[in-house]
Amino acid sequence: MNSIRLVEVGPRDGLQNESRPLSVEDRVQMIEGLIDAGLRTIEAGSFVSPKWVPQMAGSGDVFVSLGQRKGINLPMLVPNLKGFEAARDAGAEEIAIFASASESFSQKNINCSIDESFERFRAVLDGARKAGMRVRGYVSCVLGCPYEGEIPLSSVVSVASRLYDIGCYEISLGDTIGVGTPRAAVAMVRAVEEEVPIGAIALHEHNTYGQALANILACLEAGVTVFDASVGGLGGCPYAKGATGNVATEELVFMLEGMGIRTGVDLPKLCRVAVQTAAKLGRDPVSSISKIIATRAISIQTETMCAAAD
Ligand code: HMG
Ligand code: MG
């Protein structure tokens, strides 16, 4: 059975688009809850312009409050050298940079062309190398763009391989607006795999059209072993109007555990974080499982479920 790794992006992707920003204290509490639930890699925030994304202001304080934890990886998203320096000064050991396979999305999201973004990334990678920090790379719009529609696979492959070549240890392929369907997702992964080893490919699915779990299952069967997810299914991108959150971590965990793939995540604890975070944001949980938990219609018996799958 595949051994998989989950990358929890709720505290960053999940919160960056919410109309009610969470305080530093609430974000720290959310991340503590995720660690307690068994998540080991948690994107804890971003060092972007607070004028563009005010929800992520104070990410340095979030990181410093959490401190270094043995066995816990807390990557921070950065767009440029300024963001890198802030992450390094806060003590981050890993950062994530983000590029786009679509020129229009690159302009809207980070105010520069794809080529210009790589100029910025080179300086970031240099700094990270000197500071001994690991760098993950995202590619947005791998299965469609909110401004350009269909994106040629050659653009996705080109941006993914450029990120890998400049030193990103893992490339997370982002279905930013959740328009992908399973065969398209697998074809995209197969194309990227020509240039980037499958072990260095992650899938970052948004669930706008309800396809995230289907796409993940198809790509899992195609050999992908790293999946990004957001607790409660929270999230969206400020520069992709109407795009909803990532696949809900609890739904992904439920599916994987049901297939006999161990995640190390305690599902009831995770659902508690989803429900508590949604309450702080003043909205209902998005994921089906958390909605059921919130209304106490069922209690989740993970052990029974897993035993049935063995
Ligand atoms: P810009 O305006 O082109 O940058 O923004 P600039 O260099 O001209 O600087 C303008 C101002 O921003 C200056 O401040 C800078 O100091 C400041 P002022 O002098 O006006 O007071 N600034 C910064 N402040 C804090 N941290 C920084 C930073 N850099 C400059 N790092 C920039 C360029 C990239 C900064 C801007 O466009 C930005 O912050 N964009 C936000 C992008 C973002 O956060 N998008 C959402 C995350 S990506 C995503 O969700 C997709 C993903 O999930 C995958 C997927 O789903 O596809 C990863
Ligand atoms: Mg995203």
Query: Which domains, ranges and CATH numbers included, belong to the chain?
Result: 5-309 (3.20.20.70)
Report yes or no: 7 and 41 within 8 Å, Cβ to Cβ.
yes
> Given CA atoms 201, 203, 204, 208 in this order, what sign does their dihedral have?
positive
111 alpha carbon – ligand 1 mean position (Å): 8
DSSP 112: S
Assigned token pair, 177? 């607006």
Per-residue confidence (pLDDT) for residue 258, from 0 to 100: 95
Our answer on whether the CB atom of 47 is closer than 6 Å to any ligand 1 atom is yes
Per-residue confidence (pLDDT) for residue 298, from 0 to 100: 55
Give the strands of the sheet with 76-77, arranged side by side: 5-8, 226-229, 201-205, 170-175, 134-140, 94-100, 76-77, 45-46
Our answer on whether the CB atom of 106 is closer than 6 Å to any ligand 1 atom is no
Per-residue confidence (pLDDT) for residue 286, from 0 to 100: 85
Which residue stretches of the chain are H helix? 24-36, 59-66, 81-90, 103-110, 114-131, 153-165, 182-193, 212-221, 249-258, 267-280, 288-294, 302-309
Dihedral angle over CA of 187, 190, 195, 201, nearest 10 = 100
Our answer on whether the CB atom of 16 is closer than 6 Å to any ligand 1 atom is yes
Our answer on whether the CB atom of 237 is closer than 6 Å to any ligand 1 atom is yes
User: What span, in angstroms and rounded, lies between the C-alpha atoms of 59 and 217?
Assistant: 33
Q: Smallest Cα–Cα separation from 79: which of 156, 137, 151?
A: 137
90 alpha carbon – ligand 2 mean position (Å): 23
Q: Which residues of 4-20 are buried (b: 16+ CB within 10 A; e: fewer)?
A: bebbbbbbbbbbbbbee
Our answer on whether the CB atom of 52 is closer than 6 Å to any ligand 1 atom is yes
Per-residue confidence (pLDDT) for residue 290, from 0 to 100: 83
For 70, counting Cβ atoms within 10 Å of its Cβ (0-12 exposed, 13-18 middle, 19+ buried), the class is exposed
- 271 given a catalytic annotation: no
Q: How many CA atoms lie within 13 A of 47 on its CB side?
A: 26
Three-state DSSP class for residue 240: coil
Per-residue confidence (pLDDT) for residue 241, from 0 to 100: 81
Q: How far is CA 230 from CA 65, 94, 200, 242, in A?
A: 21, 19, 20, 17
Per-residue confidence (pLDDT) for residue 248, from 0 to 100: 97
Atom of ligand 1 nearest to the CA of 46: 44
Q: How far is CA 201 from CA 44, 90, 92, 163, in A?
A: 21, 28, 22, 11
Q: Give helix 81-90 / helix 59-66 axis angle, nearest 10°.
A: 30
237 alpha carbon – ligand 2 mean position (Å): 6
Per-residue confidence (pLDDT) for residue 300, from 0 to 100: 55
Assigned token pair, 98? 């983000």
Return averaged pLDDT per consecutive 10 residues of the chain, 310 residues in all.
Answer: 89 95 98 98 98 97 94 98 98 98 98 98 98 98 97 98 98 98 98 98 97 98 98 86 90 96 95 94 86 65 42
Assigned token pair, 293? 């938990």
Whether this model's pTM surpasses 0.85: yes
Per-residue confidence (pLDDT) for residue 293, from 0 to 100: 73
205 alpha carbon – ligand 2 mean position (Å): 7
User: What span, in angstroms and rounded, lies between the C-alpha atoms of 242 and 236?
Assistant: 8
CB atoms inside a 10 Å sphere around CB 290: 27
Catalytic option among 145, 168, 219, 237: 237
Per-residue confidence (pLDDT) for residue 297, from 0 to 100: 54
